[in-house]
Amino acid sequence: MTDISKPPAVDVEQLRAAVGDIYRGVAERPDAGYHFHTGRTALAHLGYPSEVTDPLPDAAADAFAGVANVFEPGLPDRGERVIDVGSGAGADALIAARAVGDDGAVTGVDMNESMLERARRSAAEVGLTNASFEVGLIEELPVEDEWADVIISNGVLNLVPDKLTAYRELFRVTRPGGRLQISDICVEQEVPEEAKRDIDLWGA
């Protein structure tokens, strides 16, 4: 796998804007056709069982754009507190919210207001009052220290140039003994430095 220990020299604000454009597009036009699978097609392709995806409102499921089944190792336990980092339209967060029940809580964090609107609408539609959704960045999560039992995330870390800073922030909000359970993509071929600096390729 390629070495990601040093942040590539990209303009962080430009990259955030480019990523924001892609996922705002997914939120507003989820069936427009993207280079990745979206919606219930993606959920099925990645192996999410129908018993967790069938109850999802269309507003959450249709704009799903994850890269692997983050619950493949297991669902969170009842009563646990979960943060979904880059929660998008809320599919994973709502699956987690149903699993943790009323004694638990889920906080979804995303930088994209269009996605947050879908997630909040979906939670209200199915009456999951233990799920909340906040605007924020992975490098500065709007969550107090050691709040979470479990951190989930799906296809987000690969879009962050300074991964060590992001992982340190995940460490800050995880309680001692808590766990990270994230889906992401990795590359097996070395990515040329020139490609790492190409903003267009980050979303490709």
Partner 1 sequence: MIEDAGFVGVTFSNKVDTFAQADGEEQARAFGTFGYVIEARKP
Site of interaction with partner 1 (CB under 8 A): 4-5, 33-37, 45-47, 67-70, 72-73, 155, 163-164, 167-168, 170-171, 174-189, 191, 204
> How far apart are CB 2 and partner 1 at their closest, in Å?
8
Rounded Cα–Cα distance for residues 101 and 107 (Å):
13
Distance of CA 193 to the CA centre of its chain: 26
Nearer to partner 1 by Cβ, of 5 and 144: the residue is: 5
- Cβ proximity to partner 1: between 127 and 177 the closer is 177
For 114-118, the CB contacts below 8 A with 24+ separation are 114/23, 114/24, 114/27, 114/28, 115/23, 115/24, 115/26, 115/27, 115/63, 115/87, 115/88, 115/89, 115/90, 116/87, 117/27, 118/27, 118/59, 118/60, 118/63, 118/88, 118/89, 118/90
Is 86:108 a contact under the CB 8 Å cutoff?
A: no
Helix (H, G, I), strand (E, B), or coil: what is residue 170? helix
Query: What residues contact 203, with CB distance under 8 A and at least 6 apart?
Result: 18, 19, 22, 159
Minimal distance in Å, beta carbon 117 to partner 1?
A: 26
Spatial contact of 172 and 201, defined as CB atoms under 8 Å apart: no
86 or 155: whose CB is closer to partner 1?
A: 155
Minimum Å gap between C-beta 139 and partner 1 is: 12
Give me the least distance between CB of 151 and partner 1, in Å please. Answer: 9
- Nearer CB in complex with partner 1: 43/123: 43
* Nearer to partner 1 (CB atom), residue 122 or residue 174: 174
- N- to C-terminal Cα separation, the chain: 18
Q: Which is nearer to partner 1, 14 or 165 (CB)?
A: 165
**Smallest gap from residue 93 Cβ to partner 1 (A):** 17
Instruction: Give the shortest CB-9-to-partner 1 separation in angstroms.
Output: 18
